[in-house]
């Protein structure tokens, strides 16, 4: 059963069913790529929490999970690329095969810095899984997204973990806010 969320300020962009189909595909792809590996799936809080919960259940392999929380310093509304770790992983990742799970890659500054930090810790491999990829505003063009749910145009989306001012993370679908002034 899918709960109906009625909000006239939202337009559905990807339905719960479309997301489920795509997340299942990503899980199968990861399971094929990581057989025999020592997989740790690291969710970046809070935006990744819904995607993470569905993705790990679509990966038919033994795996461990962990979480990080980071805050990106903003200069006005623009990300500066400085990242503070608010919560670190609770296990050493040395020798492990890590997949970092994000909700969306926008400028790429946050994830690029996070990959530098994690990359210095001796993991066997580190890959990125992001539900959404918004390539247009990308500054760190060299950032490689290994597993991407959907590429989207330069619009502000919410739901399925993504928020605006802390709202809408619990929507089962991904939507576009029609009028951000009235959120």
- Residues at the contact surface with ligand IMP, assessed by CB under 6 A: 47, 72, 79, 102-111, 134, 156-158, 162
Q: Considering the complex, what minimum distance in angstroms separates the CB of residue 110 from Mg ion? A: 7
Q: Considering the complex, what minimum distance in angstroms separates the CB of residue 79 from ligand IMP? A: 4
Q: Tokens 């809070």 identify what position?
A: 46
User: For residues 104 and 123, which CB has a smaller minimum distance to Mg ion in the complex?
Assistant: 104
Q: Which two structure tokens, joined as six digits, stand for 137? A: 């505003």
Strands 174-177 and 10-14 come out as antiparallel
User: For residues 98 and 105, which CB has a smaller minimum distance to ligand IMP in the complex?
Assistant: 105
* DSSP of 43-72: EEETTTHHHHHHHHHT--S--EEEEEEEEE
Count the site residues for Mg ion by CB under 5 A.
1
User: For residues 40 and 131, which CB has a smaller minimum distance to Mg ion in the complex?
Assistant: 131
Preceding amide of 46 cis, omega within 30: yes
- According to CB under 5 A, which one of 43, 47, 159, 175 is a site residue for Mg ion? 47
């Amino acid at each position: 059963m899918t709960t109906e969320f009625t909000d006239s300020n939202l337009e559905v962009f990807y339905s719960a069913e479309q997301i489920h189909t795509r997340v299942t595909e990503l899980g199968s792809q990861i399971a094929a790529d990581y057989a025999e590996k020592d997989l740790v799936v690291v969710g970046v809080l809070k935006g990744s929490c819904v995607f993470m919960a569905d993705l790990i259940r679509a990966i038919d392999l033994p795996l461990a999970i962990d979480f990080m929380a980071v805050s990106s310093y903003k200069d006005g509304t623009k990300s500066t690329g400085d990242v503070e770790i608010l919560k670190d992983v609770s296990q050493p990742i040395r020798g492990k095969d890590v997949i970092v799970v994000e909700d969306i890659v926008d400028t790429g500054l946050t994830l690029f810095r996070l990959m530098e930090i994690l990359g210095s810790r001796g993991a066997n491999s580190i890959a990125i899984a992001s539900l959404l990829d918004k390539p247009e505003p990308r500054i760190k063009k060299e950032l490689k997204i290994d597993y991407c749910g959907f590429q989207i145009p330069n619009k502000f989306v919410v739901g399925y973990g993504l928020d605006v001012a802390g709202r809408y993370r619990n929507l089962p679908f991904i939507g576009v806010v029609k009028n951000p002034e009235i959120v």
